[in-house]
């Protein structure tokens, strides 16, 4: 049974790759960084790196949730843009109006998430199409509201997100806390278990007594709300309103989840591995920057990493 033993080892190896591949890759990348770009670990670089990771990471948590229910959300860019406009317009630079502005942002974000969820469940529109349409619609509506001129000011108070103790800043703390929260929710609460069930097989879930639509809608609302959190942080970070504030982040968030091992077909993935995926992508970008590679080269590297991750997972998942 020597042969049996090797095939068992292969099986264990495959499971290991699927479950821990992203963490091992992250570890290897950090070692590579120690050798190639030691200044990555300087406090200044690390602070920026983590802050940017947090902005992406908070969106990626939400994206992981929609991926878990076999969907995706392309409208997060719109939510972030809307959030920054609401903050600037409603508060108009006045700190005391900030809670109202943020509250309104959350409310509108939830409505957008609800719209995504309803279109996908009740009208059976594919998530890609529904959320893309909502993205375009939100962008358009916000620009109609601003008449193309970003008015208002971002209150000083919001720049609190730029403060940091060492390389730990408020966005990073938020990211870690939210990740921990969702790790707990997904693993240890009935809601999390049911979300996996709905994503894994909607028919079985429904015949097991779950209201499938309700769970899917919840995932989209949560995704929108998390995008809104990231929008608040980004607005404070950038300090002004910009239509392209979230450009690239939306798709990077999906990429990070996929690099972390979350499947497009639903029911598989975790927010912890998404966090590792986010770090992997951000560290790679920063290293490329420190090595003086062109932005084009950075994109190529990013693309290769995403493809490599997906190829590795699919290899490990086929027997």
Partner 1 sequence: MNQPDTILDMGRISKAYAGVPALREVSFSCERGKVHALVGENGAGKSTLIKILGGAVQADSGEIRFKGRLFTHLTPRLSLDMGISIIYQELALNPYLTVAENIFLGREPNRAGVIQTRHLRQQAAELLGKLHVQIDPDAPVSELTVAKQQMVEIAKALSRNADLIVMDEPSAILVGEELEQLFKTIQSLVAHGVTIVYISHRLDEVFQIADTITVLKDGAVVGSRPREGLSHRELVQMMVGRSLEEVYPAPIGQRGEPVLVVDKISNARLKNISFTLHAGETLGIAGMVGSGRTELARAIFGADPISSGTITIKGRLVNHASPAHAIRNGMALVPEDRKAQGLFTALPIRQNITLPILNRLTRNGVLQSKRETQVVEDARHKLSISMANADQEAQFLSGGNQQKVVLAKWLETRPSVILMDEPTRGIDIGAKFEIYQLMRHLNEQGVAILMISSELPEVLGMSDRILVMRDGQLVGELPRETATEQAIIERATSGVEVS
Contact 196, 186 (CB under 8 A): yes
Residue of 44, 124, 318, 319 that binds partner 1 (CB under 8 A): 319
Choose among 300, 263, 261: nearest CA to 277.
261
Rounded to 5 degrees, what are φ and ψ at 5? -65, -45
Residue of 159, 208, 247, 294 that binds partner 1 (CB under 8 A): 208
Choose among 153, 218, 157, 229: nearest CA to 186.
218
Stretch of residues binding partner 1 (CB under 8 A), selected from 3-11, 84-92, 229-237, 249-257: 3-11
57 vs 199 by CB, closer to partner 1: 199
117 vs 269 by CB, closer to partner 1: 269
Smallest gap from Cβ 203 to partner 1, in A, equals 5
Residue of 175, 196, 215, 237 that binds partner 1 (CB under 8 A): 196
Smallest gap from Cβ 215 to partner 1, in A, equals 12
207 binds partner 1 per the rule CB under 8 A = yes
CA-to-CA separations, 82 to 79, 142, 150, 222, 240, in angstroms, rounded: 5, 6, 11, 16, 13
Residue of 139, 146, 200, 298 that binds partner 1 (CB under 8 A): 200
Residue 15, both tokens:
């499971």
Dihedral-angle region of residue 239 (phi above 0 means left; psi in -120 to 50 means alpha; beta otherwise): left
Smallest gap from Cβ 15 to partner 1, in A, equals 9
Smallest gap from Cβ 319 to partner 1, in A, equals 7
183 binds partner 1 per the rule CB under 8 A = no
Stretch of residues binding partner 1 (CB under 8 A), selected from 57-65, 190-198, 223-231, 299-307: 190-198
166 binds partner 1 per the rule CB under 8 A = no
Subset of 250-289 contacting partner 1 (CB under 8 A):
267-268
Smallest gap from Cβ 68 to partner 1, in A, equals 12
Stretch of residues binding partner 1 (CB under 8 A), selected from 73-81, 105-113, 202-210, 233-241: 202-210
Residue of 90, 112, 205, 223 that binds partner 1 (CB under 8 A): 205
207 vs 295 by CB, closer to partner 1: 207
> Residue 262, Cα to own-chain centre: how many angstroms?
12
Residue of 39, 189, 247, 297 that binds partner 1 (CB under 8 A): 189
Smallest gap from Cβ 288 to partner 1, in A, equals 35
Binding-site ranges for partner 1 (CB under 8 A) = 1, 3-5, 7-8, 11-12, 187-190, 193-194, 196-197, 200-201, 203-211, 267-268, 319
């Amino acid at each position: 049974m020597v042969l049996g033993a090797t095939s068992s080892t292969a099986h264990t190896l495959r499971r290991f790759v699927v479950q821990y591949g992203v963490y091992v890759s992250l570890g290897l990348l950090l070692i590579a960084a120690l050798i190639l770009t030691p200044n990555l670990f300087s406090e200044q670089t690390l602070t920026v790196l983590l802050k940017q990771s947090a902005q992406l990471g908070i969106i990626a948590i939400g994206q992981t949730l929609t991926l878990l229910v076999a969907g995706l959300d392309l409208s997060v860019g719109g939510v972030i843009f809307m959030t920054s406009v609401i903050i600037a317009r409603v508060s108009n630079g006045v700190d005391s109006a900030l809670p109202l502005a943020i509250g309104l942002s959350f409310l509108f974000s939830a409505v957008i998430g609800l719209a995504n969820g309803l279109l996908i469940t009740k009208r059976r529109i594919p998530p890609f199409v529904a959320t893309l349409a909502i993205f375009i619609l939100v962008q358009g509506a916000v620009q109609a509201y601003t008449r193309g001129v970003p008015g208002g000011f971002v209150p000083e108070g919001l720049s609190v997100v730029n403060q940091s103790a060492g390389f730990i800043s408020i966005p990073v703390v938020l990211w870690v806390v939210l990740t921990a929260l969702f790790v707990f929710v997904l693993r240890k609460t009935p809601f999390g278990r049911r979300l996996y069930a709905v994503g894994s097989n909607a028919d079985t879930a429904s015949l097991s007594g779950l209201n499938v639509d309700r769970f899917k809608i919840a995932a989209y609302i949560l995704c929108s709300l998390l995008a809104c959190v990231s929008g608040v942080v980004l607005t404070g970070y950038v300090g002004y309103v910009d239509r392209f504030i979230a450009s690239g982040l939306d798709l990077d968030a999906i990429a990070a989840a996929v690099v972390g091992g979350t499947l497009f077909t639903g029911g598989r993935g975790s927010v912890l591995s998404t966090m590792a995926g986010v770090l992997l992508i951000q560290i790679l970008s920063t290293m490329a920057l420190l090595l003086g590679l062109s932005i084009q080269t950075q994109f190529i590297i990013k693309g290769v990493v995403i493809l490599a991750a997906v190829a590795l997972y699919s290899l490990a998942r086929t027997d």
